[in-house]
Structure 1
């Protein structure tokens, strides 16, 4: 591209002249810019909401993983100590089947919690965007009614 081209020169066409040839309804440019600024603010807020939600979700996943590993280590340690002391493994602590059932129940509950957190993060962002879309339509309709 040449340095001689200006912002209004696109593919060899003078955009200013091209747009000038169309009859556009008069628009309050300031109000249109303000509407678009609000739209961008809403998108930023929605993105922040999603980011915060998924950050919290990732933290929760780390907590779940750490708790699961701690429980597994404790169960293994208890089994080893019971074996070393010569105690009957069935008499001391939960059986392997009970540990597996507890782990499965915990995993199901954790999955529900994570799904709820993800749904909440997405719902908040979607709500922000929907509210802004409604406001934008109202503002654009107001601009149109002012000009008529």
Structure 2
């Protein structure tokens, strides 16, 4: 059996003629690779955006905690000093009353929650915008590849 005959026929079929009759779509591999590279770059940028946003969020949480602790220490110190000097802890001392402190703490907690939710939403929104933008570009690129190769 000759090499030429075995490479072009299989079970008596001429593979060259058989494959020649099929019109397989051609794909620009370079353009496909470039599209996927851009997709990966967009995913990396989105991840970086989320990471930066949540790093900022964590820093803000630490800052809130530190401020809360400083404020609590200040109030405790003021109450101790008022007690030492013989003033009533709930009455007419220089420091705020317990009710006023509770209101201030509640309002501060609400504002802090809003700030943290806003920061998280911003981080997620930026990442989502990057991914959406890239998805639209990918669809456009794939349509262009399909249109030019038909």
User: Above 0.5 in TM-score?
Assistant: yes
Paired residue total: 128
In structure 1, runs of 5+ residues without a counterpart are 1-19
Separation in 2 of the partners of 1:72 and 1:112?
A: 21
Q: Partners in 2 of 1:64 and 1:127 — Cα distance?
A: 29
TM norm structure 1: 0.83
Rounded Cα–Cα distance in structure 1 between residues aligned with 2:24 and 2:62 = 56
Please identify the structure whose Cα radius of gyration is greater: 2
CA-CA distance at 1:111 after TM superposition: 0.1
State the alpha-carbon separation in 1 of the partners of residues 24 and 100 from structure 2: 74
1:91 corresponding residue in structure 2 = 92
- The runs of 5 or more residues in structure 2 that have no matched partner are 1-18
**TM value normalised by structure 2:** 0.82
Q: Which aligned runs of 4 or more in structure 1 are off by greater than 3 angstroms?
A: none
Residue 47 of structure 2 corresponds to 47
CA distance in 2, matches of 1:24, 1:122: 42
After superposition, what is the alpha-carbon deviation per residue over 1:4-38, rounded to whole angstroms, capped at 9, x for unaligned? Answer: xxxxxxxxxxxxxxxx9x97410000000000000
